[in-house]
Structure 1
Amino acid sequence: MKQEDISKLIIEGVGGHDNIVELYHCMTRLRFIIKDDSKFNSSKLKAVPGVINTIKSGKEYQIIIGAEVDKYYNNLIAHGVKTSEGSSEITQHAQAKEPFSIKNVFKTGINTLVGIMAPIIPLIIAGGMVKVLLALLVIFGVSAESQSYQLLDMISDAPFYFLPFFIANSAANKFKTSSFMAMVMAGVLLHPIFIELVASGSDISLLGLPVYSVSYRSTVIPIILVVWIMSYVERVVERFTPNLIKTMLRPVLILLITAPIALIVIGPLGAYIGEGIYFIIERLNTYAPWTVPTIMGIFSPLLVMMGMHLSITPFAILSVSNLGYETLMGPGMLGSNIAQGGAALAVGLKSKNLAKKEIALSASITALSGITEPALYGVTLKYKRTLAIVMISGGIAGLYAGLTGVVRYAFASAGFLSLPVFIGDDPRNFINALITAIIALVLSFVLTYLFVKIDKEETLTTDKSEKKVKEEIKNVVDGIMVPLTEVNDEAFASGSMGSGIGICPREGKIYAPVNGRVSMIYPTGHAIGVVSNDGTEILIHIGIDTVKLGGTGFKLLVEKDETVKAGDQLVEVDLDYLKEKGFDDTVIVLVLNANKENVGVTDKKSLSSDDSILQITNNFGGDVV
């Protein structure tokens, strides 16, 4: 399926253009703020090629994509999806308040911090990976005194030194204020004259009021607070400035009001907060260095599931800025990420199902490289024992990292490829980081291989001692059964979208497979979703790439939300027209919301309207969740 068609499906799945308030993205997921929660169709979105999963975190809806999120984001923007800039409608939505409570304040603060940091993470990783290159160059004999090394060092430091500029721009988008004025405020904090005054050690004052002497380079919290206050200053100035001179007077007033407040009040407040956090980090590193890596090793999968792992990044940056290294994220997440990869590798090697094996092995490679979402959602969460094993293995590896004092000197996705970020003056740090990764890999692999049951793809069975049939899915079209793995579409054949079968149709009448409700109809008529009365979500996809026909050759006989019975005709298809245009007419039937282990597939080759093609079952063994 083409990317533009995928974008249309995503837009439809989140409720259409008019339902999207804001879109931004981080390294692996699209993040939406929408108007009407009821229009967010998680089942429909999970059926879109490339979508791993969907989750909700606070007011934010996240669509997990993986490494190709940039491509999805850019194509959505090309299709007119709103970003966070230039919309009064977005501003009004952003200002909607929840009832005041400590819980809501904390939740809003964390979500805001995550939203600000998410676009910045690639820049931080870019600088960190250049530092990895520098560490490798030193190992291979390049002098740290050479100009080449010094220039590369400058390049690696640039994202961190000028971090307040990037944070200012991102915060301005989040607080719905001028990004250019926000960057001017960052310029005030990083101006060479101010830096020289701070370095001189002399007292600094503005209009007789003391200015706190602090270096704001590589800081996060001060500029966020400054831009937040500036957003309110801008609104007040906008309200009271005469229209006749607004263009000239508004930016002057914003600058003259906000900059002194930043230097005298807000900047120092942010610095004090930062120093307090730094004090806590330093105490933990001194008296209980094992604590944070162990906790991160255990709970990283849960933080990633909620999209909240980014909220820790500012404090890790603060640690690197003050100490030259950090222990908050790197050591613990190294153990957790590698544990995810080890578990996925065990599932891939143990599985006898080709599609399941390919998904697990591919997910293990990305997890071992530092990107865990494909392993987490494609493998780990499918088996309750596997998630527990990953958390235990990550925790034990994190404990070892903490006890041996492993620190990370630069930022990169924690995995085998980024191990050089642990190279420092003490060679034991790198060795212990490597041991941490090996502990996580071996533990998670062995425990998963020994204690997690990886069932084969089930065929239809009446053996009640092993399976309890929950629901039967009737055939949708007369034809010849095609195993899903042999369908001529990688997204379907991989099984990543759901379990099911393909059918080579003998006729063009498509019938309802269950008693239920029509939950989704694609406008072109080539795809239709049905939810059974028992809650099973079924997708019927008629042909491969037939969306390109724009609806020609398809006649819809039902409407969305219409109640249907098994055997009711849903669509009429002109199969001769499909073949004339060169399209594969295979009909794919998928169950979207059942584990593959709980979907039995018929082994009957010739299918009539009376046949059952799938059975939804419950395992008494309890391995699958």
Structure 2
Amino acid sequence: MEYKKIAQQVLELVGGSENIKTYTHCATRLRFTLINSEKVNADEIKNIDGVIGAVNQGGQFQIIVGNDVKYVYKELQKIADVSNGKSFEEEKDQKSLVNKVLDTVAGIFVPIVPALAGSGMLKAILAIAVLLGWIDITSQTYQILYFISDAIFYFLPILLAHSASVKFGTNPYLSITIGGILLHPTFTTMIANAKETDNAIYLFGLPVTLVNYGSSVIPIILTIWFMSYIEPLVDKIVPKVTRIFSTPLITLFIVAPVALIAIGPLGTFLGDGLAEGIRWLDNYASWLIPMIVGTFTPLLVITGMHYALISIGINSLAKYGFDTVAGPGMLVSNIAQGGAALAVAFRTKDRKLRSLGISTGISAILGITEPALYGVNLPYRKPLYSSMIGGGLGGLFIGIMNVGRYQQVPPGILALPSFIGEDGFSNLIYTVIGVVIAFAGAFIAQLILGIDQDTQLLVEKEEINVNPQAAEQMTTKESVSIDSPMDGQVITLEQVNDEVFSQGLLGKGLAIVPKDGLVYAPFNGTISVFLESKHAVGITGNNGVELLIHCGLDTVNLEGKGFNAHVKQGDFVEKGDLLLEMDIEYIKGKNLDTTTPILVTNSNKYTDVILTTEKEILMGQSLIHID
């Protein structure tokens, strides 16, 4: 698809830049607010190769492109000289720098967390085996198992290179190559020899800083960020016929030397500075960070800022092999959330709430807090306060005792082995005491605070409903059966009050009028589309299915208001993970339709798409079957 050509044709046929007030895009469409709609040649636009259709709806002229809309939009930005200045995306860029940084950090680190968790757990098990005398560290069995568990940490720059390439839009394999360059045995040997002989290494007459990049974090991220500017620039300059080899050749020739001479050492300096700053704070106020993290982690989760905290913890582990920032505080916070939810279950007389409190409380203790946070603690408010009290108390204790974790594992009760250090079980014992304090503090605080009757009735009236099994379904078998991502009433696409969906222009599927605002992942996959407006999420499944969940009609105009995201573009999700929340009442209050089309956008690749005949459906029930 020639995106530039499409953009040029679209701009001409909507009446040129002088006829555009504002323009933006959603998950599948270019959206124009025009000065004079009579200047638009809609029939010609529909005939553009790459355009699926066009409609005039909701005060906007909408051109349906499909999943490639963002690429056409980028080309349009280059040529559309809109008199009122900025496109929607440019305005958002100025307003949300902090959110963009957090989104980038999350997108880079979250995909590698499962691998870190598995390797970290193996290291923890080995530590237990050594302390109990089950295995000798001099044995070949131990040495092999140790390098198996340590491989991901040493080659961390390579994994980060790939995930950074996804966020920054670079070639993933070229990015991985850059990571491999930093860790190449010849380079590491040269560094070791130079340090031993007190000599220097030069490239083109410029000094190469003697840095070992094994287990490093920041250097490779900065390098791939730099590469995201170099690669497209080279791509524009070189002839198209030679682009397949000349672009990677020139990019590699520029980026690799700059990484070794400048960016790598700068990243190392920044990473070391961050780690030393945290160590300094630990020396003079060791209680502070765990107490803050233990108290405010629920709020960080709501805003998505906890991912930045996780990245700092990973950096500390890479630098010192010891994390006092993220792991300990988040552990006691999660346990406290479980304690508060279980206290609600213990005290309430409502059987439905008791069941929800027990299931989500246990899930939180195991490290999966979203069901408890969004199903019990946040809606009822006082359980949230209780969990923050318990988390703060537990964090204060483990901070005073200078507790740290030695491996990157999900912060739940099963993560306790990661707190076993080389000095024996003392660190683990203090951790267990902190966990007990957090649980007891939250549980007792919730028993004292109770639940306001009016709040409970309000929640029941709004039918806030979290599937307690949502976060427990961490692994599923690949399937071509798609489960419903939400509770609600099923309608056909023909009944949807939007021509694009009702005519099936974007693919086969159906729609759900949601009962509540919770949207879950229907299968394992990667978030391939998720805009800042948060109204639509695209998932590319491990099963090959490309699914679009479009929450409401014309909800892109809300610019993210009324939606609370729990994922970012590029995230890997598992079946049952909470993707986002939509505020049903807020959306209806803006006179918008909450009907949610669910489409298989690559349905043309399948023989048949069989839709459920049920009129009412619950999250997790079979919705679509593909043959």
TM tier relative to shorter chain: 0.5 to 0.7
CA contact (8 A) 2:334 2:364 kept: yes
CA contact (8 A) 1:404 1:432 kept: yes
Q: Could you say which residue in structure 1 is the equivalent of 2:113?
A: 121
The alignment's TM-score, normalised by the length of structure 1, stands at: 0.61
Residue type at the aligned position of 2:117: I
- Structure 2 distance, partners of 1:323, 1:347, is 40
Q: Could you say which residue in structure 1 is the equivalent of 2:236?
A: 239
- Structure 1 distance, partners of 2:164, 2:219, is 11
Matched, 1:452 2:450: yes
Describe the shift of the 1:381–1:256 C-alpha distance in structure 2 as closer, same or farther (beyond 3 A).
same
Residue type at the aligned position of 1:228: W
Q: Displacement, 1:391?
A: 0.9
**Map 1:510-525 → 2, pairs under 5 A:** none
Describe the shift of the 1:280–1:411 C-alpha distance in structure 2 as closer, same or farther (beyond 3 A).
same
- Structure 1 distance, partners of 2:227, 2:113, is 24
CA contact (8 A) 2:286 2:399 kept: yes
CA contact (8 A) 1:165 1:183 kept: yes
CA contact (8 A) 1:117 1:167 kept: yes
- Structure 2 distance, partners of 1:334, 1:421, is 11
Find 1:151's aligned residue among 144, 153, 177: 144
Report SS of the residue matched to 1:97. helix
**Map 1:102-117 → 2, pairs under 5 A:** 104-117=96-109
Find 2:280's aligned residue among 283, 298, 302: 283
Q: Deviations over 1:125-169 (max 9, x none)?
A: 111111222123224422222222222211211111111111111
- Structure 2 distance, partners of 1:587, 1:435, is 47
- Structure 2 distance, partners of 1:94, 1:273, is 34
Q: Deviations over 1:388-437 (max 9, x none)?
A: 11111101110100101101100111121110111112321110000000
Report SS of the residue matched to 1:214. coil
Describe the shift of the 1:153–1:92 C-alpha distance in structure 2 as closer, same or farther (beyond 3 A).
farther
Q: Could you say which residue in structure 2 is the equivalent of 1:194?
A: 187
Find 2:304's aligned residue among 307, 316, 328: 307
Q: Displacement, 1:291?
A: 1.2
Q: Could you say which residue in structure 2 is the equivalent of 1:88?
A: 71
- Structure 1 distance, partners of 2:253, 2:511, is 60
Residue type at the aligned position of 1:349: F
- Structure 1 distance, partners of 2:146, 2:236, is 46
Bigger CA drift: 283-292 or 307-316? 307-316
Find 1:351's aligned residue among 348, 355, 368: 348
Matched, 1:168 2:161: yes
- Structure 1 distance, partners of 2:615, 2:242, is 66
- Structure 2 distance, partners of 1:458, 1:401, is 34
Matched, 1:141 2:133: yes
- Structure 1 distance, partners of 2:242, 2:615, is 66
Matched, 1:414 2:411: yes
Q: Displacement, 1:268?
A: 1.1
CA contact (8 A) 1:350 1:454 kept: no
Q: Displacement, 1:589?
A: 12
- Structure 2 distance, partners of 1:499, 1:318, is 40
Describe the shift of the 1:136–1:94 C-alpha distance in structure 2 as closer, same or farther (beyond 3 A).
farther
Q: Deviations over 1:581-611 (max 9, x none)?
A: xx99897999xxxxxxxxxxxxxxxxxxxxx
Report SS of the residue matched to 2:448. helix
- Structure 2 distance, partners of 1:130, 1:354, is 40
- Structure 2 distance, partners of 1:153, 1:171, is 27
Q: Could you say which residue in structure 2 is the equivalent of 1:400?
A: 397
- Structure 2 distance, partners of 1:292, 1:226, is 30
Q: Could you say which residue in structure 2 is the equivalent of 1:263?
A: 260
Q: Displacement, 1:560?
A: 11
Q: Could you say which residue in structure 1 is the equivalent of 2:365?
A: 368
Residue type at the aligned position of 2:246: L
5+ residue gaps, structure 1: 1-17, 22-33, 37-80, 460-466, 474-482, 492-496, 503-516, 531-535, 539-558, 564-582, 591-625
Q: Could you say which residue in structure 2 is the equivalent of 1:210?
A: 207
CA contact (8 A) 2:389 2:445 kept: no
Describe the shift of the 1:430–1:528 C-alpha distance in structure 2 as closer, same or farther (beyond 3 A).
closer
Describe the shift of the 1:208–1:432 C-alpha distance in structure 2 as closer, same or farther (beyond 3 A).
same
Report SS of the residue matched to 2:207. strand
Describe the shift of the 1:442–1:158 C-alpha distance in structure 2 as closer, same or farther (beyond 3 A).
same
- Structure 1 distance, partners of 2:233, 2:615, is 62
- Structure 1 distance, partners of 2:169, 2:91, is 18
Q: Displacement, 1:353?
A: 2.2
| RMSD over aligned Cα atoms | 4.4
Residue type at the aligned position of 2:175: A
Matched, 1:20 2:32: no
Describe the shift of the 1:525–1:177 C-alpha distance in structure 2 as closer, same or farther (beyond 3 A).
closer
- Structure 2 distance, partners of 1:180, 1:589, is 41
- Structure 1 distance, partners of 2:252, 2:233, is 13
Q: Displacement, 1:279?
A: 1.7
Residue type at the aligned position of 2:311: P
Report SS of the residue matched to 1:144. coil
- Structure 2 distance, partners of 1:587, 1:222, is 52
Q: Displacement, 1:498?
A: 11
Matched, 1:220 2:203: no
Q: Could you say which residue in structure 1 is the equivalent of 2:480?
A: none
Residue type at the aligned position of 2:166: N
Bigger CA drift: 313-322 or 250-259? 313-322
CA contact (8 A) 1:300 1:333 kept: yes
Residue type at the aligned position of 1:192: P
Q: Deviations over 1:418-468 (max 9, x none)?
A: 101111123211100000000001111111123212759999xxxxxxx9x
- Structure 2 distance, partners of 1:560, 1:252, is 45
Q: Could you say which residue in structure 1 is the equivalent of 2:538?
A: none
Describe the shift of the 1:338–1:238 C-alpha distance in structure 2 as closer, same or farther (beyond 3 A).
same
Q: Could you say which residue in structure 1 is the equivalent of 2:523?
A: none
5+ residue gaps, structure 2: 1-24, 32-65, 79-88, 471-484, 490-495, 503-508, 519-552, 556-587, 589-611, 620-627
Q: Displacement, 1:105?
A: 3.4
Matched, 1:380 2:377: yes
Q: Could you say which residue in structure 1 is the equivalent of 2:20?
A: none
Q: Deviations over 1:231-274 (max 9, x none)?
A: 21111211111223222222111111111011111111111111
CA contact (8 A) 1:518 1:529 kept: no
Aligned residues: 430
Find 1:178's aligned residue among 159, 163, 171: 171
**Map 1:427-438 → 2, pairs under 5 A:** 427-438=425-436
Describe the shift of the 1:188–1:484 C-alpha distance in structure 2 as closer, same or farther (beyond 3 A).
closer
Q: Displacement, 1:349?
A: 2.2
- Structure 2 distance, partners of 1:188, 1:333, is 35
Q: Deviations over 1:154-207 (max 9, x none)?
A: 121111111111111111111111001101110111111111122220311111
- Structure 1 distance, partners of 2:403, 2:618, is 50
Q: Displacement, 1:322?
A: 2.1
- Structure 1 distance, partners of 2:226, 2:618, is 54
CA contact (8 A) 1:343 1:390 kept: yes
Describe the shift of the 1:423–1:528 C-alpha distance in structure 2 as closer, same or farther (beyond 3 A).
closer
- Structure 1 distance, partners of 2:447, 2:170, is 53
Describe the shift of the 1:93–1:123 C-alpha distance in structure 2 as closer, same or farther (beyond 3 A).
farther
Residue type at the aligned position of 2:148: I
Q: Could you say which residue in structure 2 is the equivalent of 1:325?
A: 322
Q: Could you say which residue in structure 2 is the equivalent of 1:8?
A: none
- Structure 2 distance, partners of 1:206, 1:228, is 22
Report SS of the residue matched to 1:414. coil
